[in-house]
Amino acid sequence: MDFFYTHNDIPKKRLRSIIHRLDGYTGRLRAVQKSKTYRVSESPLSLPSDTRLLNNVLRIIRAKTTSRLKYIVVIGIGGSSLGAKAIYHALRGYADALSHNRFPQMFFLDATDPEYLDAFLKFLKISVRHPEEILIHIASKSGTSTEVIVNAEIVLSALKKFPSFMEHVIVTTDAGSPLARTAKEHNIAWIPIPESVGGRFSVFSPVGLIPLATAGIDIRALLRGARSMIRLCLDSSVRSPAAISAATLFHHARAGKAIHDTFFFHTELQYLGDWYRQLLAESIGKEKNRRGKTVHAGITPTTSIGSTDLHSIAQLTLGGPRDKITTFVSTKKHTTHVRVPKKKILSPLPYLHGKSVEEILHAIYTGTIQSYTKHGLPFLEVLLPDISESSLGAFMQWKMIEVMLLGKLMGVDAFDEPNVEDYKEKTRRILSA
Amino acid sequence: MDFFYTHNDIPKKRLRSIIHRLDGYTGRLRAVQKSKTYRVSESPLSLPSDTRLLNNVLRIIRAKTTSRLKYIVVIGIGGSSLGAKAIYHALRGYADALSHNRFPQMFFLDATDPEYLDAFLKFLKISVRHPEEILIHIASKSGTSTEVIVNAEIVLSALKKFPSFMEHVIVTTDAGSPLARTAKEHNIAWIPIPESVGGRFSVFSPVGLIPLATAGIDIRALLRGARSMIRLCLDSSVRSPAAISAATLFHHARAGKAIHDTFFFHTELQYLGDWYRQLLAESIGKEKNRRGKTVHAGITPTTSIGSTDLHSIAQLTLGGPRDKITTFVSTKKHTTHVRVPKKKILSPLPYLHGKSVEEILHAIYTGTIQSYTKHGLPFLEVLLPDISESSLGAFMQWKMIEVMLLGKLMGVDAFDEPNVEDYKEKTRRILSA
């Protein structure tokens, strides 16, 4: 993974000074990671090297799946779904609608949506002939998310026609949660999330690993990628891409650029944008700082997809308010090499013929970078070696460390989400009235 | 369609005074619409009542489709794809991955993406047995969009094995464009976009109508919905929901709330968010105002989906910077009534049982509204009567008028996009070198 900082638009001295503020905390992260325990909020850093947990995941999957498996249903919302969805979609899911007969396929039920649920129940009825064809993964850290319980009850009820349907369910939740209790009562397979691992930092825990491994995604490579990024970011803060990125975002947010656009030049990475959106929004968006002072801190994440969104949002970015900083994400290597045929059919643009789509995408990317530069817009560039388990693991680990460091710089607790309890409580009160 | 302004957080007198500034321009829009011509930038208002154009669309579709049609491929980007995608997805597409044997299905090729194109070509090879099973709609206003030409040449080349494949192509473009010229040369069916209709205002032109009608969407109802909104918004500015919404966005943008989140409590409306994102971003995001002064005007659109994004972005919205205004969009009537079964399976939350999913979604919505209110966040509420052609037509027409009025208030040209020519030119230079 290559990082380019040439256009970050921050004086070198200022960048160095901000990064040095992170020395102590980087040391703390290193110590947490080396401890391989789960005692503090930063403990998600222990996940990529936790072989015991990996083996538990692999064991439960071996017990619960056969070669007949066709559909994996992930019932979870927010941190219990976005990580698996990002990786699955990047590697496989983007082509699901085009390859109906390649299995297993993964479905995500997050919101409680009447129309989608109805269509999904009809699909289950027609498509699932044998209980071994389906695996239901129910993930909820607290075990009390309304949406998760609603979707789980409805889907399980639809599978009751198979006497053994409970054998094809895996529950991932906190050890002490109400959901863990009912899973045990019903003798359903379940696996705990280490307690200190928060939802948005849980992709390398069973929350992400169970569905991904079930779908045949190489989770060892995913974790290997994450470990390589931990080394790169925690060995020293000076060269850490997480520290540089956090410092850059911090500097610009202070200067009024409080929107961070992640611009993926890869349609397959669309849901990686959604995953990072939660990570940045929930971690940094805080009413109060660590000292209890009301600060309304936060950076608003947005996602763009190249080249689609050049045709929808570029006019605003290039001409509009100077309130944004961009991180471009692109790939060195594509897995396929489709070309515009040499022989023209319609072609009003003769120079395109014979060129590979890769080459054309690259030209659009270069044109965009030149245009941002000309307009004096600050940006970072990240070049993934390829779209693979290991590069996705590295990218996500980079972002999780970035956000921890950014919390430190902004003086906020990157690990809580105090303001959302409120609407949940209000909803609960309405529903239980 | 019901509008609720109770929490727009703008003094009544101020609102009235802003709206009165729009009286003259509202009169102009009314005159343009009544003229039924295509001479000015506001002429897209003539589209919903243009029966000649509607008849042309229906005629070309009758000539080009049979009951064997299975796949409609929309090749377009930005304004040439987002409108049709929004409507198709809201009414049908959301369930495509769950109903493989319901035809016709629509596919959208926008970005030039090697991996997706490769998967798509394999799909074509396996799934299309007869040329009548497929219709290719190539849409590009300028007729020179790199992405559109690349995707069109590749897909057409893959269909060359059918001698009559050119009979299953419709081109929608400006009358004088290079694409219109080559279409005529090859005797391909083509239909012009009225010249003054810009991409982001073109959903009710052949750009949107051709693919939608082909898929069996009721375009007459869509246009009827649009016409009803034109009456509501142009009869007088005082009660016009477009004027009230534009004035509210204008007021808050001036006061530092320059992010507009559209929060759909309907997963099916996801791409309607993308469509509006282009509309607001490109129309209002401007380097210079109408007098040529550098102003860097703009409002950044974001989209949230309920209840999914309550679990990802709500912490930022509720606790973070006071830089946002929200428009909530929900529906009065759902088409299905799935319930949480009375009989519990796992259920750690007994109060959910027996309730309909609709009821639960509504409780989450109410909890969210109460929470926004408690935190003093400004918002508008829109309640669609249902998700149908006519309500989507009304919604989109509302938004197009809103953005025209907003352009007027901000003093910018809502119809051009001068800054994007730059990266396009740079890309072209790289590719033709």
Domain regions of chain B by residue span: 2-28+222-410, 37-217
**B13 class by beta-carbon count within 10 Å (0-12 exposed, 13-18 middle, 19+ buried):** exposed
Inter-chain residue contact A364 with B336, CB threshold 8 Å: no
**CA A157 vs CA A127, A152, B341: distances in Å:** 16, 8, 7
Which chain B residue shows the shortest CA-CA distance from A166? B345
Of B110, B348, B432, the CB nearest to A143: B348
- B2-28+222-410 and B37-217: identical CATH topology: yes
pLDDT for the residue numbered B238: 83
Is B176's Cβ below 8 Å from some Cβ in A? no
Give the residue ranges of chain B where pLDDT is below 70: none
Residue A145: its chain B contacts at CB < 8 A? 311
Is B292's Cβ below 8 Å from some Cβ in A? no
DSSP string, A72-141: EEEE--GGGTHHHHHHHHHHTGGGGGG-TTSS-EEEEE-S--HHHHHHHHHHHHHH--SGGGEEEEEEES
Of B266, B320, B431, the CB nearest to A298: B320
pLDDT for the residue numbered A336: 85
B29-36 contacts: CB < 8 A, separation 24 or more?
A: B29/B234, B29/B401, B29/B404, B30/B234, B30/B235, B33/B230, B33/B234
Inter-chain residue contact A296 with B286, CB threshold 8 Å: no
pLDDT for the residue numbered A277: 98
Is B97's Cβ below 8 Å from some Cβ in A? yes
CATH match of A37-217 with 3.30.43.10: no
Residue A114: its chain B contacts at CB < 8 A? 334-338, 356-358, 361
pLDDT for the residue numbered A379: 98
Of A183, A347, A352, the CB nearest to B346: A183
ipTM of model: 0.97
- pLDDT by residue for chain A (433 residues), tens digit each? 999 999 999 999 999 999 999 999 999 999 999 999 999 999 999 999 999 999 999 999 999 999 999 999 999 999 999 999 999 999 999 999 998 889 999 999 999 999 999 999 999 999 999 999 999 999 999 999 999 999 999 999 999 999 999 999 999 999 999 999 999 999 999 999 998 999 999 999 999 999 999 999 999 999 999 999 999 999 988 889 999 999 999 999 999 999 999 999 999 999 999 999 999 999 999 999 999 999 999 999 999 999 999 999 999 999 999 999 999 999 988 888 899 999 999 878 999 999 999 999 999 999 999 999 999 999 999 999 999 999 999 999 999 999 999 999 999 999 999 999 888 999 999 999 8
Q: What sign for the dihedral angle of Cα A348, A353, A358, A359?
A: negative
pLDDT for the residue numbered B378: 98
Which listed residue (B311, B342, B343, B374) is catalytic?
B311
Inter-chain residue contact B77 with A311, CB threshold 8 Å: yes
The whole-model pTM stands at: 0.98
pLDDT for the residue numbered A348: 85
pLDDT for the residue numbered B335: 82
Annotated catalytic residues of A are 282, 311, 424
Please tell me the number of Cα atoms within 13 Å of A108 on its side-chain side.
26
Does B168 participate in catalysis according to the annotation? no
pLDDT for the residue numbered B108: 98
Is B317's Cβ below 8 Å from some Cβ in A? yes
Of B79, B286, B431, the CB nearest to A363: B431
Count CB-CB contacts under 10 A for residue A353: 17
CATH match of B2-28+222-410 with 3.40.50.10490: yes
pLDDT for the residue numbered B334: 81
Which listed residue (B132, B147, B268, B282) is catalytic?
B282
Which chain A residue shows the shortest CA-CA distance from B143? A348
Is A355's Cβ below 8 Å from some Cβ in B? yes
pLDDT for the residue numbered B175: 95
Residue A316: its chain B contacts at CB < 8 A? 281-282, 284-285, 298, 300
Is B421's Cβ below 8 Å from some Cβ in A? no
Is A294's Cβ below 8 Å from some Cβ in B? no
pLDDT for the residue numbered B381: 98
Inter-chain residue contact B116 with A259, CB threshold 8 Å: no
Which single residue is written with the structure tokens 């998310």? A145
The enclosing H or E element of B235 equals: none
Residue B117: its chain A contacts at CB < 8 A? 336, 338, 357
Is A334's Cβ below 8 Å from some Cβ in B? yes
pLDDT for the residue numbered A421: 87
Inter-chain residue contact B345 with A177, CB threshold 8 Å: no
pLDDT for the residue numbered B100: 80
